[in-house]
Structure 1
Amino acid sequence: MKKLLPTSTAGSLPKPSWLAQPEVLWSPWKLQGDELLQGKQDALRLSLLDQLQAGIDIVSDGEQTRQHFVTTFIEHLSGVDFNQRKTVRIRNRYDASVPVVVDAVARQKPVFVEDARFLRQQTTQPIKWALPGPMTMIDTLFDDHYKSREQLAWEFAKILNQEALELEAAGVDIIQFDEPAFNVFFDEVNDWGIAALERATQGLKCETAVHICYGYGIKANTDWKQTLGSEWRQYEQVFPKLQQSGIDIVSLECQNSRVPMELIELIRGKKVMVGAIDVATHRIETPEEVASTLRKALKYVDADKLYPCTNCGMAPLPKAVATGKLQALTAGAAIVREELSR
């Protein structure tokens, strides 16, 4: 019998200090060559062990083998010049120096497939693998070739699809596409963003998920959240069309956010990964706080479709905090699971 309320994480978990500088996004590797390869695999095993010991049901690589959830994928593609940089506005929030698209983009070889195969060998639990979504990828680049956000997104969607099909063949159970850009560019999401996302999932038989959040707990994001008013209704713009899409699971941010819970009703019928852990604070939730968030969500999503999760990745958090939050997530889910079984 399938477990009710299976827990998972949105993606990244802290890296060990011997691999990269802790609590820093985009932290450079401390090892190189074969040592780096071995170090990444050791970190992946440790991250998996942390998840299993905390009782997480759907496990991941904790993104131990990548520096950044978007750029690490793009680094492996041709057509993008990482030595040439231009400044762009990321998700209308902050300026960043980014690589330039100088030619047609293409995937010469698999990017994460070996890592996924390695993870699959380590566990019998269901595994989830995260890839950047097409719209979020174009938002982290300067396009000097296609000169069309939409066209570049479609090219990335085809490339992501090649990778996703090979990840599925390597034994991945859920492929998640990270699309924080869906909370910003509403017209584009509805015009072609969801269609491009579906192109990335074409032909997949495993489950597919889209993760839409308000970002890591970094200053640029927390400052932006302060400007959003008393209710965050961004999801309202994209959920109706997402509900009509072929994506199986929608992953969203609910803990300590001002997202009105009733917006989940707009994706009725989909499985929902409910973010019940706030990644923008070092305070560890109590199991009861997690349970309370899940109970509120249950008014709008059937119990067999609710997957307790974290709001976003936890790479910038201290390891002890992240571990405590994972334990709170599983303990909170257990409380509600018990209530549902009565």
Structure 2
Amino acid sequence: MSKKSYITGFPRIGEQRELKRILESFWAQKCSFNEVENVAKELKKRHWNYQKEAGIKYISSNDFSYYDTMLDTAIMLSAMPKRFSDLANETQYFSMARGNKESVAMEMTKWFNTNYHYIVPELSLEDEYRLNSEKIINEYKEAKAQGIKTKINLIGPITFLGLSKRVDRGDTYMLHSKVLPIYESLLKEIATLDDEITVQIDEPIFVKDNDPKVLSLIKPTYDALSTISESIKIIVTTYFEHSNEATRILVNTPIWGLGLDFLYGEKNKESLARIANSDKKLIAGVVDGRNIWKNDIKRTLELLEDIAKVVPKEQLFVSSSCSLLHTPFTLKYEEKMDREIKNWLSYAVEKLDEVSLISKLFFEGEESLNNHEKVVLENNTQANKHRKTSTVIHDKNVQNKVANFNKFTRDGQYEERIKIQKEILGYRELATTTIGSFPQTPEVRKARQAFKNGLISKEDYEQQMKAYIDDCVAFQEACGLDILVHGEPERNDMVEYFGEQLQGYGFSQNGWVQSYGSRCVKPPFIYGDISRPKPMTVEWMKYAQSKTEKIMKGMLTGPVTILNWSFVRDDKPRDEVSKQIAVALSDEIDDLQNAGIQIIQVDEAAFKEGYPLREADIKTYEAWAVRDFKIAVSTAKEETQIHTHMCYSEFNDIIKTIEAMDADVISIETARSGNELLKIFKQVGYKQEVGPGVYDIHSPRVPSVEEIVQQIKLLLEVLPKEQLWINPDCGLKTRKWEEVKPSLSNMVKAVQIVRSELV
């Protein structure tokens, strides 16, 4: 074991999604919560042992969660919304996250610029907080009983406040004086656990452009927390960007150490001299916690040596750049992956070995390695060398096509296009539709898996998928929806499905990553130049359209979302990869409209997710992200209506960028936030049509007709009926038919009521 190896955090879903399965069994009332707890205990034990066996010194407790660590922190503070106050224990916890029959769930949004979602705490000035330390203390004791002394991970008070919302519309930071004493009480309790204990306090909010008011909270906070007990060593950790402004302050507090990301926050190097002149330990994040490529150990050692030219080695530790929560669990189950490509990859368990080996090399030298470690190092060198020259990566034809592509916008101005579209398409005001997907039933998943495994023929598989499409179309027609979708039964995931048909993409069997709660995604990875060998959706859409006289909406995932929801190659700039995807999609859109598909939705659910965390970098991102959406739809004729969809976004700061994308219709998630997000569209005089979500699809509850009527009326207070579409918040893939059918039927009935009142 290297005494200077450090892991910021570890995945919690389980190497084969054990936590997901037991949670969903519990929610379906097929098991008790005691069974959930037993699975959780086994997972934590296994995860701690993985790290111990890899030689990691600093292993975390309290990085495990049944749903989300921000939600856990709200529970620790007893900061629960009043609508859940009468519920007990796990019922309260999961109702806050998922809602129940009586109450809507708390809002959910993206964790910085990742695809992980956190539950947004709801706070108010009248809150009275009290400490609930049970989970934190018990988890530390669990690990200790296994012979593992952990560091305790906490979400920091400033980040907690910065990522929360005030339901009474005030400033969350005004609650600092109420929250800080709870953290002080918590640390006093932690101090009783051992003679010496390390507490990692995550403050990723420090990597954003914070105003002086926020920065002014840092010193009093960490002066107070660092002097609670001499037995506690506090490490303040940031990731995803640099935190130089905060570091400048933190080095003048009594904290023990700083965790900084030197891969995504390269500018953290500017703080090295300040750290060197203090007594602070530097936990250097040099092994990528967000991507899956095998670490280039020699290159990483060079980075560490550069850091050590300023900060003495005795102050340094080797760490992951952030929690490994954002990477798949282990390569162990990747039995079908091409060996050449698999040799370039590293998941969470493999990254443990990388951190351990790099730490040993850096602090003890190559002569300290045993024979096995020397072989691992040599294999690492050869794998990285081979990846740079492999012929499966570089495609001159793709490079030339993209370089010579010169159509950067579609024909016609919006005002002209929408007149043509409305005349041809003939849809009514408050037109009803869905975002695209319908429930992925066990039968659909089983058939798709059987086809992938060669257990059923292509003909049998397609027959089953078409039967599902038939049912989807029949239900939508009976329900009374205006614009239909085919339900996407053939699609395992909105990115993976397209990646499977694009050259330059790779796939995993078990590369699952937690998105929120029990929801896991299996991102594909881009290893080479991207091209589209053949049409990807045309035959499915032609079939679906043949089953109805109504308009069938074509469904594509946009280039920026495909990029942001993939593990992207690290040997080419992201904007160049995005442009390759956009050019490929432009061919697909042309094929779809030529096949008679009149409305095409190009989802950019992850558009906002890719935004840089620092304002100085935003314009560059927006420029190429808008460019590539417009390239993708550039082949669309004036009469082809282009829709897009965006998830969980604060639109105030990007509304002009959305306008520049020039989609004819945009649908957005707003159900958990009322019509607040929509007001910016009115304020800027947004011309295009908008489909705000009228009910939350992330909750199993079925909204009533009256509830949706009220929601539509709230929308009409902001935008005129001529500009509004009515749809759910997002796709319905994760819901069950017994939830979907009454919800959509109620939505259509609500629209009929509102239409009759508007006559």
What's the counterpart of residue 375 of structure 2? Answer: none
Is the partner of 2:651 in helix, strand or coil?
Answer: helix
CA distance in structure 2 between the partners assigned to 1:291 and 1:268 by the alignment: 24
Answer whether contact 2:496 2:524 (CA < 8 A) is retained.
Answer: no
Distance 1:148 1:172, change over 3 A: same
Aligned pair 1:274/2:698, yes or no? Answer: no
Bigger drift between 51-60 and 296-305 goes to: 296-305
Is the contact between residue 128 and residue 173 of structure 1 (CA under 8 Å) also seen in structure 2?
A: yes
Task: Show the 5 A alignment for 1:1-342.
Answer: 2-20=427-445, 29-31=449-451, 32-33=456-457, 34-82=459-507, 98-144=523-569, 147-186=572-611, 187=618, 190-205=622-637, 206-214=640-648, 234-257=650-673, 260=676, 261-265=678-682, 266=684, 268-341=686-759
* Alpha-carbon distance between aligned partners in 1 of 2:529 and 2:748, rounded to the nearest angstrom: 45
Question: Per-residue deviation at 1:40?
Answer: 0.7
Residues 1:17 and 1:96: Cα distance change in structure 2 (over 3 Å): closer
C-alpha deviation, 1:142, in angstroms: 2.6
Asked if the contact 1:40–1:65 (Cα under 8 Å) also holds between the matched residues in 2, the reply is yes
How far, CA to CA, are the matches of 1:38 and 1:136 in structure 2? 30
Amino-acid identity (%): 24
8 A contact 1:134–1:153 mirrored in 2: yes
Q: What SS class does the counterpart of residue 507 from structure 2 fall into?
A: strand
- Contact preservation (8 Å) 1:84, 1:99: no
Equivalent-residue separation in structure 2 for 1:298 and 1:189 (angstroms)? 33
Unaligned ranges ≥5, structure 2: 1-425, 612-617
User: Residue 89 of structure 1: CA displacement?
Assistant: 9.1
TM-score, scaled relative to structure 2: 0.39
The runs of 5 or more residues in structure 1 that have no matched partner are 22-26, 215-232
Return the alpha-carbon distance in structure 2 between the equivalents of residues 258 and 195 of structure 1.
31
**1:189 shift after superposition:** 5.4
Cα offset for 1:157? Answer: 0.7
Q: For residues 258 and 293 of structure 1, do their structure 2 counterparts lie closer, same or farther at Cα, with a shift above 3 Å needed?
A: closer
* 1:215-243 deviation digits (Å, cap 9, x = unpaired): xxxxxxxxxxxxxxxxxx61112222222
Q: How far apart, in 1, do the equivalents of 2:697 and 2:551 lie?
A: 23
Bigger CA drift: 195-204 or 136-145? Answer: 136-145
8 Å contact from structure 1 (residues 90, 139) kept in 2: no
Q: Secondary structure at the match of 2:543?
A: helix
Give the whole-Å Cα distance in 2 for the aligned partners of 1:267 and 1:39. 46
How far off its partner does 1:178 sit? 1.4
What is the CA–CA distance in structure 2 between the aligned matches of 1:85 and 1:158, rounded to whole Å? Answer: 30
- The alpha carbon displacement at 1:263 in A equals 2.2
For each residue in 1:147-168, what CA deviation from the matched residue of structure 2 results, as whole angstroms up to 9, or x when unmatched?
2111111111111111111111
Q: SS in structure 2 opposite 1:198?
A: helix
Residues 98 and 212 (structure 1 numbering): CA distance in 2 closer, same or farther, change over 3 Å? closer
The Cα offsets for residues 136-191 of structure 1, whole Å up to 9 and x where unpaired, read as 11123233375211111111111111111111112222111111212323336523
SS for the counterpart of 2:655 is helix
Q: Secondary structure at the match of 1:176?
A: strand
Report the Cα distance in structure 1 between the residues aligned to 2:561 and 2:535, rounded to whole angstroms.
20
Q: Which residue is 1:227 aligned to?
A: none
The code of the aligned residue for 1:262 comes to K
1:102 deviation in Å? Answer: 2.5
Cα distance in structure 1, aligned partners of 2:532 and 2:661 = 26
- Inter-partner Cα distance in structure 1 for 2:685 and 2:489: 31
Contact 1:182/1:189, CA 8 A, preserved across alignment? no
In the alignment, residue 77 of structure 1 is paired with which amino acid? L
Q: Which has the higher contact order (CA 8 A, sep 6+)?
A: 1
Normalising by structure 1, what TM-score?
0.85
Distance 2:512 2:573 in 1: 17
Distance 1:76 1:176, change over 3 A: same
Give the deviation of 1:280 after TM superposition. Answer: 1.1
**Greater fraction helix:** 2
Q: Which residue of 2 aligns with 1:217?
A: none
Counterpart code for 2:663: I
| Residues 108-138 of structure 1: per-residue CA shift (max 9 Å, x gap) | 0001100011011111111212211111111
* TM-aligned CA distance change 1:201 to 1:194, over 3 Å: same
- Deviation, 1:84, is 9.6
1:301 & 1:193 partners in 2: Cα distance? 27
Offset at 1:19? 2.1
Contact 2:505 2:525 (8 Å CA) reproduced: yes
What is the count of residue pairs matched by the alignment?
A: 316
Q: SS state of the match for residue 180, structure 1? A: coil
Q: Aligned in 2, Cα 1:278/1:87: closer, same or farther, shift over 3 Å?
A: closer
Give the distance between the partners of 1:296 and 1:66, measured in 2 at CA: 34
The 3-state SS of whatever aligns with 2:449 is coil
Superposed CA deviations along residues 192-227 of structure 1, whole A, max 9, x for unmatched, are 21221111110312001110013xxxxxxxxxxxxx
Determine the structure 2 residue equivalent to 1:221: none
Q: Partner amino acid for 1:235?
A: F
2:38 — aligned with what? Answer: none
Change beyond 3 A, Cα 1:183–1:102: closer
Structure 2 CA distance for partners of 1:128 and 1:95, relative to 1, 3 Å: closer
Question: In terms of Rg, which structure is larger?
Answer: 2
Larger relative strand fraction: 1
Superposed structure 1 runs of 4+ greater than 4 Å apart: 83-91, 94-97
Q: CA deviation at 1:267?
A: 5.9
Given that residues 664 and 688 in structure 2 are in contact (C-alpha distance below 8 angstroms), is that contact kept between their aligned partners in structure 1?
A: yes
Q: 3-state DSSP class of the match of 2:465?
A: helix
Measured in 1, the distance between the counterparts of 2:538 and 2:432 equals 24
